[in-house]
Structure 1
Amino acid sequence: MTVESPTEKAITPSVGLLGWYSVCASQLLKQNELYHLSMYNEPLVIYRDKENKPRCIKDSCPHRSASFRGGESKNGEIICPYHGARYTTSCNQDGFDRITCNHIVDSDYDNFAKYLHLRQYPCVEQGDYIYIYYTGEAKTSPNDFKINSELEPSLPETYGFDLADSKFEEVFIDFKCDWSRIIENHLDILHIFWLHGNTLPGNDVNRETIKSFNQTINKDQYHLRSVYNEKGNKKEEFISQIFIPPGRVIIFKGSPEQARYVQVLDHIPLAHNRARIIVRHYRKFLKNKFLCKLLLFKQRQQQVFYKIFSEDYLVLQTQTFNEQMGYMHQGQNKLLAEDKMIKHFWDWHQQSIEKESPWTIHPTSAHTNTIHQDMLMVYPPANPQLSHDVQRIIDRKVAVRLFSIVIIILAFIFAPNLVQQIKSGNDSIPMVETQE
């Protein structure tokens, strides 16, 4: 059973595929480091300038179009690896916030250098996230952009969850598949029971407890929202999902006011068949740092995340293939009542594709070099190395803890005997009387 608000039936989110994207975590963007990504095939770089402000630039030096891969960021200055061109932020009296070359080769080219400007996108930092406003056309100054959508409706705090009272664990996930299929996956509640039932902790969600739900959907210009209630006497919210275009999904376990944890998922369309997801779990329990370290909570959570998304991976890849082969035309997929949210998402997606066509802005072909696409695949499940590294960390720390426990137990067992032996040895030493 699906219920829609009659007054909002015709309303769909006004934000399309171009707009604000969360693309990086604040803690990942360290000073003097470069963070590479791409958006809709366009290679980008994020770094911190001399005022520690995040900057998002097109990954192309305006001198000879070399990438900044292998380059440097020193004291807020970004340096091209090809000829050492150094770029730094400058703001003139007209308010143009440019990133200008201040040196290339030697002083003979100072006049030439000052006409070289990096092209960039608006980039802000808020709530431990780095956001960029992506339009597909980088400009020499963020002030040249007309911002058509607000950032505030994308923030988790807007929907009733107090992040200040929470701790979170985070992973980055890379997929070789279409990014919109991943959003569809995260709006699908039923597959959690079946596909991930043996991986999720606890006994509430598994193949034996899979069930149907009543579903209420609301939508406005900012988001699509679906609330699932268990059928029968128990009417409390089971899960509340919010899709905030273009790429954020927020999932509350229960109502937002009572939820003990919130999952925030940000979907980044890197390139054709390449996507990155930022997965962040906020929780209102187990907030003691010492206890979390003792239990290896962070590493264990990471392994659960990696396993869950690895279970999704084959499904997402094959769905992407079937769609690209034309096997998923209208009428070939039969949706359940619980899939209504997915239907609304695809309606929004299709309207946005027709209106903006972001994949046609920086098109690739079979002859396009895939260097950027290939080098971006650094996280599981596309690259399982990080998952293996986390498992080795868990194994090593567990071994150290077990060894320490064994040493303590042995100390308790043998220490009294050792003390007794020492005492007995002292008693057996003959006393030597001294004569006056």
Structure 2
Amino acid sequence: MENKQINFFKTKDINTVLKPFKKGTVVNIDNLEVREKQKELKLGLHGWYAICPSTELKKNKIHYFSLFDEPLLLFRDKNNNVRCIKNICPHRGSSFYGGSISNGELTCPYHGARFSSQGNCQNIDRITCSHIVDNNYDNYAKRIHLSQFKVVERESYIFIYFTDKSETDLNKFNDDSLISNYDLTANGFSVKDSVSEEVLVDFKCDWSRIIENHLDILHIFWVHGDTIPDKDVNKNVLVSFNQKININPNYIESIYFYKNNPTKEFIRIKYIPPGRILIYKGDPAASRYVQVLDHIPLGDNKARVIVRHYRKFLKNKFLNNLILFKEIQKKIFYKIFDEDYMILKTQTYNQKLGLIKNDEIKLLGEDRIINYFWNWYKKSEEKDNPWKHINKNKELNVYDEIILKYPPEIKKLEVINNINIIRKTFIRYAAPLVFLLLII
């Protein structure tokens, strides 16, 4: 009897696998791999993206950003609802950059056109240019609408639903069910009793490479071993793991167990397309922490990451302030991203030059979740075509100064955090000592 070993990942279904084999052939197929292949991610690159923390969007301020190189902006209307619109004035096609928000109305800096939300905030359908003389103005104004995307605020994040077609009336948008994929509560986490630290980081490199990097948990031993405060995580400690992959239409999850202790879990990673990664350990309901990473594809070689670390330990506010725990945590986050950054930039460089080819990159067994990600990403990129604007603005860097304002490319927030550490350390320790010496 003939015995053959096959690779199920290169096939479409079990019938396709068995068809070429003669009757009586014994086919050895890993049942886990069969099940994984039958469960594929159904979500694409069009979907919900966490654009910024709610605290970033101030009243009467405009938040400029882009997605896949399409210029967009956020603002709060008079009812404090968040609106996301294309950064294009429908009067003459100029940007709203340099414009203003007053009483929830958005004003274009070119001719002073003002736009306000109407009704139940489902559309922005009134333009006011009172200084313009036009006998047909009232009819014209009623027909003007700003192109917009659906927005929700959840768990102190602002999410938008990005597709290839914006709407002028959000009553036409009826698919907001997928936002529950991102809800931490829907993923089994209870963060009501947690405290958190948060940083925002910008990268001038390929967005998909950043996600790949964050799915690769094992690089932390080599790249971040001297930074992460864990004696068991460094390049001098070689650890082997067993890996379990869970896949369903909404996410991919990879769980790592110690090989020398198969019941002991090291870490688990959950990828929720298109842009969220959860890193935690054990049962979500009982997990002592969860790290939430949201990846935002600003444009070609421009990406932002929001990192929020929820934890159920060291929650005492006084103690945290005393030992500067929040500031030190942020400092560690910034250092970790800086360590990743050179790797990400060189990967992007090699990729753009066509130096990274399938036959030159050898994914190992530990890279299974990365393999799943790339298979999904390539299919989604072909289907959704989100980068359709790239070739048109290749040499135009108009928005760079507006969009890229966070570290590590521009280290403003990292510098501010370091200054806060020095200032608070002096206030807590040096200042009382000076005062004591003066008394003596």
Relative to the length of structure 2, the TM-score reads 0.88
Q: Secondary structure at the match of 2:79?
A: coil
- 2:8 paired residue number: none
Q: Deviations over 1:368-388 (max 9, x none)?
A: 421113421111111123212
The equivalent position to 2:402 in structure 1, one of 369, 375, 379, is 375
**CA 1:182/1:3 → structure 2, altered by over 3 Å: closer, same or farther?**
farther
Distance in structure 1 (CA, Å) of the matches to 2:63 and 2:148: 14
Distance in structure 2 (CA, Å) of the matches to 1:369 and 1:104: 30
- Structure 2: stretches of 5+ with no match in the other structure: 1-29
**CA 1:149/1:328 → structure 2, altered by over 3 Å: closer, same or farther?**
farther
- 1:26 paired residue number: 54
Distance in structure 2 (CA, Å) of the matches to 1:98 and 1:388: 40
The equivalent position to 1:7 in structure 2, one of 17, 35, 40, is 35
- 1:104 paired residue number: 129
Are 1:182 and 2:207 matched, yes or no? no
Contact 2:64–2:402 (CA<8 Å) still a contact in 1? no
Compare CA radii of gyration and give the structure with the larger one.
1
Q: How far 1:326 moved relative to its partner?
A: 1.3
- 1:257 paired residue number: 285
- 2:88 paired residue number: 60
Q: Which amino acid is 1:257 matched to?
A: A
Distance in structure 1 (CA, Å) of the matches to 2:393 and 2:172: 34
Distance in structure 2 (CA, Å) of the matches to 1:397 and 1:390: 10
Distance in structure 2 (CA, Å) of the matches to 1:411 and 1:130: 50
Distance in structure 1 (CA, Å) of the matches to 2:307 and 2:425: 25
Contact 2:404–2:410 (CA<8 Å) still a contact in 1? yes
**CA 1:314/1:219 → structure 2, altered by over 3 Å: closer, same or farther?**
same
Distance in structure 2 (CA, Å) of the matches to 1:66 and 1:276: 25
RMSD of aligned residue pairs (Cα, Å): 2.1
Q: Which amino acid is 1:369 matched to?
A: L
Q: Secondary structure at the match of 1:164?
A: coil
* Counterparts of residues 327-338 of structure 1 (less than 5 Å): 327-338=355-366
Are 1:239 and 2:251 matched, yes or no? no
Contact 1:17–1:358 (CA<8 Å) still a contact in 2? yes
Range moving further from structure 2, 330-339 or 5-14: 5-14
Q: How far 1:296 moved relative to its partner?
A: 2.1
Range moving further from structure 2, 110-119 or 219-228: 110-119
Distance in structure 2 (CA, Å) of the matches to 1:328 and 1:344: 18
Q: Secondary structure at the match of 2:233?
A: coil
The equivalent position to 2:247 in structure 1, one of 219, 224, 244, is 219
**CA 1:119/1:10 → structure 2, altered by over 3 Å: closer, same or farther?**
same
- 1:206 paired residue number: 234
Range moving further from structure 2, 31-40 or 373-382: 373-382
**CA 1:166/1:64 → structure 2, altered by over 3 Å: closer, same or farther?**
same
Distance in structure 2 (CA, Å) of the matches to 1:321 and 1:22: 27
Are 1:403 and 2:403 matched, yes or no? no
Q: Secondary structure at the match of 1:300?
A: helix
- 1:433 paired residue number: none
Contact 1:227–1:237 (CA<8 Å) still a contact in 2? yes
Contact 2:44–2:274 (CA<8 Å) still a contact in 1? yes
Distance in structure 2 (CA, Å) of the matches to 1:357 and 1:40: 10
- 1:419 paired residue number: none
* Counterparts of residues 151-190 of structure 1 (less than 5 Å): 151-190=179-218
Q: Secondary structure at the match of 1:9?
A: helix
Q: Which amino acid is 1:258 matched to?
A: A
- 1:424 paired residue number: none
Aligned residues: 408
Q: Percent identity?
A: 46
Range moving further from structure 2, 270-279 or 8-17: 8-17
**CA 1:144/1:200 → structure 2, altered by over 3 Å: closer, same or farther?**
same
Are 1:282 and 2:331 matched, yes or no? no
Q: Which amino acid is 1:98 matched to?
A: N
* Counterparts of residues 281-300 of structure 1 (less than 5 Å): 281-300=309-328
Range moving further from structure 2, 203-212 or 32-41: 203-212
Q: Secondary structure at the match of 1:293?
A: helix
**CA 1:74/1:90 → structure 2, altered by over 3 Å: closer, same or farther?**
same
Contact 1:16–1:246 (CA<8 Å) still a contact in 2? yes
Distance in structure 2 (CA, Å) of the matches to 1:90 and 1:244: 34
Are 1:40 and 2:68 matched, yes or no? yes
Q: How far 1:85 moved relative to its partner?
A: 1.2
**CA 1:250/1:368 → structure 2, altered by over 3 Å: closer, same or farther?**
same
Q: Deviations over 1:311-330 (max 9, x none)?
A: 10110011111111111211
**CA 1:209/1:286 → structure 2, altered by over 3 Å: closer, same or farther?**
same
Distance in structure 2 (CA, Å) of the matches to 1:267 and 1:186: 10
Range moving further from structure 2, 213-222 or 113-122: 113-122
Q: Deviations over 1:197-232 (max 9, x none)?
A: 111123121122231210000101101111000111
Q: Deviations over 1:325-366 (max 9, x none)?
A: 111211211122211110010011011112111112x23346
Relative to the length of structure 1, the TM-score reads 0.88
**CA 1:210/1:114 → structure 2, altered by over 3 Å: closer, same or farther?**
farther
Range moving further from structure 2, 250-259 or 349-358: 250-259
Contact 1:88–1:101 (CA<8 Å) still a contact in 2? yes
Q: How far 1:5 moved relative to its partner?
A: 5.8
Q: Which amino acid is 2:274 matched to?
A: P
Contact 1:271–1:373 (CA<8 Å) still a contact in 2? no
